[in-house]
Amino acid sequence: MLPPGTELRPMSPDDVQTALQIIRAHDQDDYETAIQSYENYGVEDQYVLEAESRVIGVTGIRYIPDTDRSYFLSWTYLDPGFRGRGLGTAMLEELLSVLEQRGVRKLFVNTSDLMDPKQGQVYRDAIKMYETLGFRLELNYRDYYEPGESRLTYGRRIGPLYALRPVFEPDPAGVRLLGIEEIAETDDAYFVEWEFCEDGSMFASQDLVQLARQAKEWDARCVFAGFPSNLPQMEQSVEGAGFSNCGRLVDFYEDGLDEVHYRLDL
């Protein structure tokens, strides 16, 4: 898939600065987030595209905690001097082949519908590449990053799909709300943090209302939340607090178990 003279290989610590500069050439926000990510999580599951001993591309994955082999695609960019040659598609195609060999089950990628007055849709080419390689749009979070810029989450199955989708019985576990946190790279958007509690107690609508009030005091625009699809007792509490269902990520936690998403505009 890759042209002669190019190789996709695991990233080493010595590659980080070059990778960061490639990311920075495309997106300052991604560059700043990538610095923290490499510092906090290192270079595990990160890759670089090399041509004649020179790093010309960066890609990789990050594991999604508490899931069965689900990952998010990391920053996937080429050195601007090498664009227009099909290398970006070839690099991602090669990565997908590596992930299939490793037994990765599902891969997600976040992008946006950001519009530029001169360029038009900034990530148009990237989205076209994802769709060409089998990614499908699963969630559209409108006005996520800022008013007028939505988050688009695409998903792709890695390896064979099940013949019959598993069905999960309702989970009797409860959910405890922990608080809210501002979402990186957004303009005043927050998400709800939570954890399971084994006693089966479920938070009440009023608990979520209290968090929403706190977010409003912090000048939040909106609050997002995501929960497993086999917690039907949770839906009444969330919608009772004024949140609306805005979609789901399919087979997010494991085959047959989605992540259902909700939002509240303030």
DSSP 109-171: EEEE--EETTTEETTHHHHHHHHHTT-EEEEEEEEEEETTEEEEEEEEE-SPPPSS---PPPP
Average pLDDT, the chain: 93
Whether residue 202 lies inside any domain: the answer is yes
Whether residue 167 lies inside any domain: the answer is no
> What confidence score (pLDDT) does residue 232 get?
79
Residue ranges with strand state E in 160-220: 174-182, 189-197
User: Taking a C-beta distance cutoff of 8 angstroms, is the pair 159, 99 a contact?
Assistant: no
Could you tell me the CATH number of the domain that includes residue 77? 3.40.630.30
pLDDT in tens, 124-141: 989 999 999 999 999 999
- Provide the domain limits for residue 191: 174-265
Whether residue 255 lies inside any domain: the answer is yes
Q: At what angle do helices 16-24 and 28-41 cross, to 10 degrees?
A: 160
Whether residue 164 lies inside any domain: the answer is no
How wide is the angle at C-alpha 48 spanned by C-alphas 43 and 51, nearest 5°?
150
Instruction: Report d(CA 175, CA 168) in Å as an integer.
Output: 18
- Does the pLDDT of residue 1 top 80, yes or no? no
Question: Pairing state of beta strands 222-228 and 189-197?
Answer: parallel
Phi and psi angles of residue 235, each rounded to the nearest 5 degrees, phi first? -60, -40
pLDDT in tens, 100-129: 999 999 999 999 999 888 888 888 989 999
pLDDT class of 172 with cuts at 50, 70, 90: confident
Residue partners of 257: CB distance under 8 A and separation at least 6:
166, 168, 228, 229, 230, 251
Q: Are residues 121 and 189 in the same domain?
A: no
**Mean pLDDT on 215-222:** 96
Listed residues 127, 157, 187: the one ending a domain:
157
Instruction: Report d(CA 160, CA 169) in Å as an integer.
Output: 24
Whole-number CA gyration radius for the chain: 20
- Does the pLDDT of residue 76 top 90, yes or no? yes
Q: Are residues 24 and 123 in the same domain?
A: yes
> What confidence score (pLDDT) does residue 8 get?
96
Percentage of the chain modeled with pLDDT above 90: 79
Count how many domains the chain has.
2
> What confidence score (pLDDT) does residue 119 get?
82
Q: Are residues 45 and 141 in the same domain?
A: yes
**Mean pLDDT on 210-218:** 95
SS3 (DSSP) at 70: strand
Instruction: Report d(CA 62, CA 24) in Å as an integer.
Output: 19
How wide is the angle at C-alpha 1 spanned by C-alphas 135 and 128, nearest 5°?
30
Q: Are residues 29 and 145 in the same domain?
A: yes
Whether residue 1 lies inside any domain: the answer is no
Listed residues 132, 157, 182: the one ending a domain:
157
Instruction: Report d(CA 16, CA 201) in Å as an integer.
Output: 45
